[in-house]
Amino acid sequence: MSNKGFVGFLFVQFALFSVLSHAQVYREGEVIVKLKGDAKSTSAASFVGKVQMEKQMSLSKSWMGMNLHHFKASSGHTTQELLEMYKADPAVQYVEPNYVFSKMDVQEADSVTGLSESQAQASSSSGGFSHNTAPIQAEDAWSVLSANAAAKPIVAIIDTGVDYGHTVFQQSSAIWQNDDEIAGNGLDDDGNGYVDDIRGWNFVGDNNDPSDDNNHGTHVAGIVLGIGQDIVSTVPRAESRILIMPLKFLDSQGSGATSDAIEAIHYAVNNGAKILNNSWGGPSYSAALHEAVAYAYSAKAFFVAAAGNSSSNNDSTPIYPAGYNVPGLAAIASTTNTDSLSFFSNFGLATVHVGSPGSSIKSTLPGDTFGFLSGTSMAAPAVSGIAALMMFEKPDMNGFQIKNIIFSGSNSVVGLSGKVNTESRINVFNAVRSAQTSSVDPSQPAYTISVDQFSRDLASAMDGGAACGLVKALGSSSGALPYLTLILLALPFALYLHARVRKTGSNRRRHDRFVVDTEVAIAVGDRMLSGRVNSISTGGARFQAEDLIERGSVVTMIITSPDGSGRIEVQGNIVWSEQNQQCGVQFSPDKLVKATVEAWTRDLKKEAL
């Protein structure tokens, strides 16, 4: 291989990193802080007072029940600096970036080409969800629903907003109204903390208009409604049996901050929603968001989450909130009209629960129109729609029981074998029928958040000195990502990796290169880059494994910036992985390295999942 060829080859390799990367950004200069003990305790109050007094951070929002506080820097500090400043504060339980999450539909270019005839046909006559090859039996369920007299269960659409003026929602009276709020009087009549919130809230603009400036949320809301009635055919439309609560926390680009997601979840629960549809997510674990999902569970709500559109395995590469192991949460994969997994859909035998139609689904779009979208974003609301019909039949049924009935009533399909926990695709009729005939079980399992992810302390300890025992501890945490950084290359010897070497000549050619095929992941701050490495160089280090382990040798990974202009080195240590029964390399980059890679990967911010 010529020098030129070598360089070109490695460039492609770095491009692969970019394509496969799971990048999640955060709001710069913001953090979410969990304080120890009770929110009313002296230590909590004095912490909040202290940081504001010192003019380091200003308080944006507090969730007192969780002793959780959203701060913005008032001192020009970066998020990274705020994290460093406060993680060791004795009053702080944890501090994390205000991560940004994304909607989970797939881009037009990625959509399946050509609608299935049966699905398109069904769409034009019946709402788009019933077809012969993958019958979810929605229409069969409609004929057994009770008369429309009971209270309507409320489904919160935590999304980009909803075009609540759409004819479909208006004619069916499907939009939730806050009866305790007087419109336009400038007062918070019901004392829920929101002025004139007559039909939900816009957490992006912090106002009472949760309109949809994207199209995602309107489509999602239409699917929820469309599970229970025909939304596509012309008038007259029947009155809905459910209510849609529009909660906008994703902006016009489909992105939204953790702090707003937490607030939307609280609004939903505190204002009567029993089903929360969440067609969004991201790869970074947020303990604060985890607590919000647990809060919804404590209120016996059903939390429905899209599994993600990366075609990846959530068991090993989790997506949140779908990945939280809260008992009242269901993570939804997307299926096609032939009951196979949609090509984009994430899966996971342990952590993704059930399949639901999400390829080319016809539903409402803003401006009184209809259109097709694909994604696990479209699969999740079908489950929310089923849950709503079940709660219409059995208003006292809690989210946990609803979830289990949906799972047990779903149809086992070959295409989901080994892919999702139930290995099944939803069935509306079975779920509704089963809800009608089941007695209400008010109980639900106790749940407390277990620290099953890398804590900051553990990650920090990694800097102090790698040891085989530490890797064992890290390896037992079932695929969760470290907060700081860990790269474990499951290779039986030390590596000196060249992502790209611009300098040609003797220095590089002196070393042998080895063809390998292994996954490598780089976590830097809130970013996760992953890809496959297929070339390594011994780079001057002699790789006698035992020798290196004994000496605790330092390994360096060189990363060149995508445009080739910059280059950094990351130090790592050879360690033994009990889990993999192999030696690997554990890297612990410092702040400068993280900041550099951060800058290089800034362009990845806009990449949707």
3-state class (DSSP) for residue 258: helix
Which of the ranges 47-55, 194-202, 392-400, 570-578 carries the binding residues for Ca ion, by CB under 5 A? Answer: 194-202
Task: Between 182 and 473, name the residue whose CB sits nearer to Ca ion.
Answer: 182
How far apart, in Å, do the first and last CA atoms of the chain sit? 36
d(CA 93, CA 110): 42
Burial of 400 (0-12, 13-18, 19+ CB in 10 A): buried
Nearer to Ca ion by Cβ, of 268 and 574: the residue is 268
The pair phi, psi for residue 529, each rounded to 5°, is -105, 135
- Residue 360 Cβ vs Ca ion, minimum distance, rounded to whole Å: 39
Among 28, 89, 190, 598, contact with Ca ion (rule: CB under 5 A): 190
The minimum distance between CB 388 and Ca ion, in angstroms, equals 24
User: What one-character-per-residue DSSP string does 335-398 give?
Assistant: E-TTSSB-TT--BBTTT--EEEE-SSEEEEETTTEEEEE-SHHHHHHHHHHHHHHHHHH-TT--
Write a three-state SS string for 269-332: HHCCCCEEEECEEECCCCHHHHHHHHHHHHCCCEEEEECCCCCCECCCCCCECCCCCCCCEEEE
Among the listed residues 91, 242, 68, 252, the one whose alpha carbon sits nearest the alpha carbon of residue 157: 242
CB of 186 to Ca ion, least distance (A): 11
Q: Look up 368 and say whether it is catalytic.
A: no
Smallest separation, CB 188 to Ca ion (Å): 4
- Main-chain dihedrals φ then ψ at residue 531, nearest 5 degrees: 180, -170
Q: How far is the CB of 272 from Ca ion (least distance, A)?
A: 13
The binder of Ca ion chosen from 18, 41, 75, 192 (CB under 5 A): 192
- Check if the beta carbon of residue 262 is closer than 8 Å to that of residue 63: yes
Is the omega angle on the peptide bond into residue 321 within 30 degrees of 0, that is, cis?
yes
From 21, 105, 130, 159, the catalytic residue = 159
Alpha carbons 329 and 225: distance in angstroms, whole number: 20
Which residue, among 309, 276, 304, 303, has the nearest Cα to 376 in the 3D structure? Answer: 309
Site for Ca ion in 129-188 (CB under 5 A): 181, 188
- Pick the catalytic residue: 172, 377, 530, 553? 377
Q: C-beta of 71: minimal distance to Ca ion in Å? A: 25
377 catalytic per annotation = yes
In sequence order, the 6+-apart residues with CB closer than 8 A to the CB of 505 are: none
| Positions 317 through 376 that interact with Ca ion (CB under 5 A) | none
The nearest distance, CB 191 to Ca ion, in angstroms, is 7
Q: Which is nearer to Ca ion, 190 or 607 (CB)?
A: 190
Number of residues that bind Ca ion (CB under 5 A): 6
**CB-nearer residue toward Ca ion: 197 or 291:** 197
- Does residue 194 belong to the site contacting Ca ion (CB under 5 A)? yes
CB-nearer residue toward Ca ion: 108 or 179: 179
Q: Which CB, 181 or 526, lies closer to Ca ion?
A: 181
515, burial (CB in 10 Å: exposed 0-12, middle 13-18, buried 19+): exposed
Which of residues 105, 139, 197, 213 is near Ca ion by CB under 5 A? 197
Question: Within positions 439 to 498, which residues make up the interface with Ca ion, using CB under 5 A?
Answer: none
Return d(Cα 67, Cα 262) in angstroms, integer.
13
Q: Is 266 a catalytic residue?
A: no
Selected catalytic residue, list 166, 216, 219, 290: 216
DSSP lists the bridge partners of residue 67 as none
CB of residue 194 to Ca ion, shortest distance in Å: 4
Considering Cα of 528, then 450, then 475, then 554, what sign does the dihedral take?
positive
Stretch that binds Ca ion, among 29-37, 69-77, 193-201, 376-384 (CB under 5 A): 193-201
> Whose Cβ is closer to Ca ion: residue 194's or residue 454's?
194
- In terms of Cα–Cα distance, which of 282, 277, 286 is closest to 305? 277
Binding site for Ca ion (CB under 5 A): 181, 188, 190, 192, 194, 197
Task: Give me the active site residues, please.
Answer: 159, 216, 377
